[in-house]
Structure 1
Amino acid sequence: MKYLFTILFSILTILSGCSRSGDGERPSSSSDTPAPLTVGLVFDAGGRGDRSFNDSAYNGLEMARSRRGIDFMFAEPDGQGSDREAALRLMAVNPDVQLVIGVGLLFSEDIADMAKEFPDKKFACVDYLRSPGVTIPSNLAGMVFEEKKGSFLAGAIAGLVTKTNTVGFIGGMESGVIRKFQSGYAEGVHFVNPEATVISGYIGMSGSAFANPAKGRELALGQYGRGADIVYQAAGASGLGVIEAARESGKLVICTDRDQEYLAPGFVLSTMTKAVDRAVLAMVESVLDGSFAGGTAVSYGLADRYTDYVYNEKNSALISSAVHKRVEQLRADILSGKIVLDETTSLD
């Protein structure tokens, strides 16, 4: 009886953080016609409001609601993300939900297990990380981005712009995916500037590493203090602390996932963007039009600028036209195969 009460309490706790259509209400409509699709989304550590890829995923659902008339629900795990499996299950057992999306690599194992348990539901995972030898269930679509290639371009920008010849990297949770950011960045720096030094650090070893801005600020201040004039952060909500450290130090930061220039105008050199919002929209549309492809990882890369970097009027004073031209040539060389980057390579 005590065990049953614990389970019920846990479910109620998750329900308290679960809203329909983002604000607890159905979209207003002049008819009772049901939405063509209801999506259940579970955020990663950091949750909605991280100003990074969680917010981008949410925006993707807003775009899908506006353009395709879908309905959606979302849930936010606790700070450690320890109840992620329960939140996924809450969505999977809901008869209204046809597509369940987990945001973040930490969902990979749980969402694969859930897809096997609920074969009549469709599942998708942003930044899906397949374990070696594991077969992706036929009703699960992994959503992956070309982080290494995008980070290579970010590194090239840093290597061409640095004045101290020392640049930094700060990752959130030390993991295979984030190490691709690190290795791609370092390769890009050294490709254009072989003499440059890259300082690297991580917030931590668990999911909470993506939700610790104070630690991000501390690490960044340390790297700036060691001579880095540019730091690339791939740390989710923890990256907000890195941005603050750049402002305090009068140095530059390269951000990740979404353009964050507005958080520190004049101090954000660029952002390696992952169009999670467009990818979520595309995934929803694949369900609506019947082209959903489970059992595989769908790549969103440089070719269609799902993975890209920011260059516009707001940072053109920091990135010269010559640097931009060089980076665009590097991008073209990657797409043509002249420059080959192994997306599976991680630093030792």
Structure 2
Amino acid sequence: MKRVVSIAAAVAMTAGLAACGSNDKSSGSSSGGTDQFKAAIAFDVGGRGDHSFNDASYQGLEDAKKKISNLSITTAEASESDNDQARVNRLTQLASSGNKAIVAVGFVYANAVGQVAKKFPNVKFAIIDDATPASAGSNVEQITFKENESSYLAGAAAAKTSKTGHIGFVGALKVPLIQKFEAGYIAGAKKVNPNIKVDSKYLASDGKGFNDTPGGKAAADAMFQSGADIVFAAAGKSGDGVISSAHSKGKWAIGVDSDQALTADKSVAGSVLTSATKRCAGTVEDFVNSVKDDSFKGGNKVYGLKEDGVSLSTTGNHLSADTLKTVDDLKKQVVDGKITVPTTPSN
């Protein structure tokens, strides 16, 4: 009987650890020790390997580890079938496992962060891409970006580069956050070429749109076939499909969140014209460091072009000198307040 009880207890413990991920061995984490400073990250759909904002956010923890030698990192993957309760359970498991700093990647965690943060007032939370009252709390840092501003520069670069006067946009799902990308992209393109044609396509009505590589490829294929020669994707891992499509068609893709000319598969990365990036890694690193040195302050932190929180990458040197000059001029006007970039699409 004692042996049966021991086996049952071991199975239950193993299941509990599997539910929230495991210490990431590549980060140099160890399984024990009281001197560890424990931090965790709960990924959005797409998780590690999305070449986009999940990977960029995780990089922030790796960067923090370079300064915090005793940092132990735990990762927790998400599922397309997740609901709020699943996310609450995931964050609760992480908070009750001794993690002092927990990063929730994506606005879908808003309700879960709000609930769990109240139950664990001594744990500090950061949520990326949400600043709603649902996630607010004295022990919560809301990290948001002006994605419309970097997308504005991406649209301008696309319009200057396009030979057909026809470009495209692929979004994961039609929500305000993703519409910010579309709005900036269209506005920037039309600033350069008022007559440019912009196709827009949203992949799904739920989180599956962030993890649909075949769907991203199909959407881009259709746009290229109809005459577009550049497609910008704000769709997480689905953007891999857009880049793949651009490569197969001899066209251009524009990456998002990370510099995807560096993070995409090397066999297709040469087809990334530029990327509208945001400083996920830097903000996550700053958050973890602030918790470690007791300088944490909750509230919403907003990063735009002025704060160097978003930018347009130039890896590969695919943008002409004239295009770079136009982009730099438009960036200066946005930073100086002479141009206000819209957050909702005009069409």
AA at the equivalent of 2:101: L
Cα distance in 1 between the residues matched to 2:252 and 2:245: 9
Distance 1:135 1:171, change over 3 A: closer
CA contact (8 A) 1:199 1:223 kept: yes
In structure 2, relative to structure 1, the CA distance for the partners of 1:302 and 1:15 (3 Å cut) is: same
C-alpha spacing 1:322/1:84, structure 2 compared with 1 (3 Å): same
Task: Answer whether contact 2:113 2:135 (CA < 8 A) is retained.
Answer: no
- Counterpart in the other structure of 1:71: 72
User: How far apart are residue 153 of structure 1 and its match?
Assistant: 0.6
Greater Cα shift, 189-198 or 257-266: 257-266
In the other structure, the counterpart of 1:107 is 109
CA distance in 1, matches of 2:253, 2:16: 37
Residue 100 of structure 1: CA displacement?
Answer: 1.3
Per the alignment, residue 62 of structure 1 pairs with 62
Residue matched to 2:18: 15
Q: Distance in 1 between matches of 2:42 and 2:259?
A: 23
Residue 300 of structure 1 and its aligned partner are, at CA, apart by 2.4
Residue pair 2:187, 2:342 contacting (<8 A) in 1 also: no
- Partner Cα separation in structure 2 for residue 157 and residue 278 of structure 1: 25
1:299 pairs with one of 297, 302, 309? 302
Q: How does 1:260-275 map to 2 (within 5 A)?
A: 260-262=260-262, 263=265, 264-275=268-279
- Residue 190 (structure 2) pairs with residue 190 (structure 1): yes
- From the superposition, tell whether residues 142 and 192 of structure 1 become closer, same or farther in structure 2 (CA, over 3 Å): same
What letter corresponds to residue 72 of structure 1 in structure 2?
A: I
Structure 1 partner of 2:314: 311
Distance 1:22 1:170 in 2: 35
Segment drifting more, 227-236 vs 283-292? 283-292
How many Å separate the matches in 2 of 1:120 and 1:58? 22
Describe how 1:31-180 pairs up with structure 2 within 5 A.
34-35=35-36, 37-69=37-69, 70-82=71-83, 83-94=86-97, 96-130=98-132, 136-180=136-180
Shift in Å at residue 341 of structure 1? 2.3
Indicate the SS of the match to 1:20: coil
Matches within 5 A, 1:335-346: 335-343=335-343, 345=344
Q: Considering only aligned residues, what root-mean-square deviation do their CA atoms show, in Å?
A: 2.4
Cα distance in 1 for partners of 2:231, 2:136 equals 36
Q: 1:14 to 1:250 in 2, by over 3 A?
A: farther
Check conservation: 1:179, 1:347, Cα contact below 8 A. no
Contact 1:173 1:207 (8 Å CA) reproduced: yes
Task: Establish whether residue 284 from structure 1 lines up as the match of residue 285 from structure 2.
Answer: no
1:130–1:136: 8 Å Cα contact kept in structure 2? yes
CA contact (8 A) 1:153 1:331 kept: yes
Would the alpha carbon gap of residues 338 and 10 (structure 1) be closer, same or farther in structure 2, given more than 3 Å must change?
A: farther
Q: For residues 252 and 259 of structure 1, what CA distance do their matches in structure 2 show?
A: 14
- Which digits, 9 at most, give the CA deviation of each residue in 1:32-72, with x for residues without a partner? 6713x311210110111111111111111111112222222
| Structure-1 separation of matches of 2:56 and 2:135 | 28
> Per-residue displacement from partner, 1:63-95 (whole Å, max 9, x unpaired)?
11122222221110223333322211111222x
Deviation at 1:173, TM superposition (A): 2.2
Shift of 1:10: 11
Counterpart amino acid of residue 116 in structure 1: K
Bigger drift between 80-89 and 232-241 goes to 80-89
- TM-score under structure 2 normalisation? 0.88
